[in-house]
Amino acid sequence: MIGDGIETIVGVVSDPVFGPVVAFGMGGVYAETLKDLTYRLAPFDVETARVMIRELRASPIFDGLRGQPPRDVDALAVALAAVSQMAWTMRDRLAELDINPMLVRPRGSGVVAADALVVLR
């Protein structure tokens, strides 16, 4: 129903040594073909989330290519930081989290978590 979003994936796994680890990458067919992911230990702030976004090889897509509008990277960074904060807060109960896809809409339109799976211990 949302046709203007670029698919990304956001995940959290609970590492027994490091605690919650947040993964971010391109979603949909890109997740399977490019395997373009970056990871950080939770919790982290919005600036760290911005760095994660720019680490992806496919990050120029968010700037707008071939007539596509630039994407709401600000909202995406806020969402990534919020997921990391939630993962840290719930570290004793959260086994894993998978948001796929997280749709990144045109600048000013935000992001939408279209599907999610939460596994609690």
CATH number of the domain where residue 114 is located = 3.30.470.20
Residue with tokens 């890109």, as numbered in its chain = 30
Nearest to 36 by CA among 45, 49, 21, 23: 23
Q: What percent of the chain has pLDDT over 70?
A: 100
Please give the single-letter amino acid code of residue 120.
L
Contact 96, 11 (CB under 8 A): yes
Structural domain contains residue 92 = yes
pLDDT at 97 over 80: yes
Residue numbers of the domain that contains 85: 9-120
pLDDT at 1 over 80: no
- Tens-digit pLDDT profile for residues 19-67: 999 999 999 887 778 889 999 999 999 999 999 999 999 999 999 988 8
Contact 12, 82 (CB under 8 A): no
Structural domain contains residue 3 = no
Structural domain contains residue 1 = no
